[in-house]
């Protein structure tokens, strides 16, 4: 723990308006508690259900797709490890999620997000309907949980592009960072 400076960490979080964050295995219990906390804390916010929805998609992405895994003996399941932050500035809310991925997945994630980011709201609506059908069939064949739908949903709910950043950690692993922003309504 020698290199970890809690005060620096605190200062940085404060400076970036981070309201809450979690780092660790994103289990269903953790996700439910943080989700309900956000829903309660921002219950007067008009977009709260959309913000909550994006939080759930991001957190479940970590849970299912992070390649850094914690095994729970009690529940006999693997849970993805990652970090998720929730920030509020004067004019927006931000949800930022990060986790490890295999480098072999990088291209497909980037291309899924780029497609979503290239579309306007009407196109996203059509694309969602289309992917809902496609993913349904994929699901039966490959057992994929269909992250494509998640990205479309986040772009629709936030009415924003999904920002991503990928940092190569080592030869086979990278760190994927996703940011979704919500503009506050009426300033």
Partner 1 sequence: MDDLIIEGSKTRPYVKFNGRTAMLEIGGESYPENAMEFYKPIYDWLDLYLLKNSEREIIFTFKMIYFNTSSSKAILDILDRLESHHTSGGLIKLVWLFEEDDEDIEESGEEFIDGLTLNYVIESYDD
Of residues 68, 92, 135, 177, which one binds partner 1 by CB under 8 A?
135
Strands 69-72 and 77-88: antiparallel
164 makes contact with partner 1 (CB under 8 A): no
Cα-Cα-Cα-Cα dihedral sign, residues 80, 116, 124, 85: positive
Whether the CB-CB separation of 79 and 69 falls below 8 Å is answered with yes
136 makes contact with partner 1 (CB under 8 A): yes
146 makes contact with partner 1 (CB under 8 A): yes
133 makes contact with partner 1 (CB under 8 A): yes
| Number of Cβ within a 10 Å radius of residue 72 | 11
167 makes contact with partner 1 (CB under 8 A): no
**Cα–Cα distance between 116 and 162 in angstroms, integer?**
8
- Measured in residues, the chain has a length of 187
Contact set for partner 1, span 64-123 (CB under 8 A) = none
Residue (85 or 147) nearer to partner 1, CB? 147
Closest among 86, 112, 84 to 98, alpha carbons compared: 84
Q: Which residues bind partner 1 (CB under 8 A)?
A: 28, 32, 36, 49-50, 52-53, 56-57, 60, 63, 125, 128-129, 132-133, 135-136, 139, 145-146, 149-150, 153, 157
């Amino acid at each position: 723990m020698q290199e970890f400076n809690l005060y620096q960490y605190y200062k940085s979080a404060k400076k970036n308006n981070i309201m809450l964050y979690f780092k660790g295995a994103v289990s269903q219990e953790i996700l439910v508690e943080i989700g309900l906390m956000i829903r309660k804390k921002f219950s007067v916010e008009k977009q709260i259900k959309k913000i909550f929805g994006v939080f759930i998609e991001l957190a479940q992405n970590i849970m299912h797709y992070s390649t850094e895994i914690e095994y729970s003996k009690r529940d006999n399941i693997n849970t993805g490890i990652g970090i998720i932050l929730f920030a509020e500035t004067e004019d927006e809310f931000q949800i930022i999620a990060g986790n490890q991925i295999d480098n072999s997945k990088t291209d497909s994630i980037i291309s899924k997000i780029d497609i979503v980011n290239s579309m306007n709201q009407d196109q996203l609506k059509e694309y969602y309907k289309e992917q809902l059908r496609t993913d349904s069939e994929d699901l039966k064949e490959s057992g994929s949980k269909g992250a494509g739908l998640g990205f479309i949903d986040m772009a629709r709910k936030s009415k924003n592009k999904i920002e991503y950043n990928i940092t190569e950690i080592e030869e086979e692993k990278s760190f994927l960072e996703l940011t979704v922003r919500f503009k506050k309504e009426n300033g």
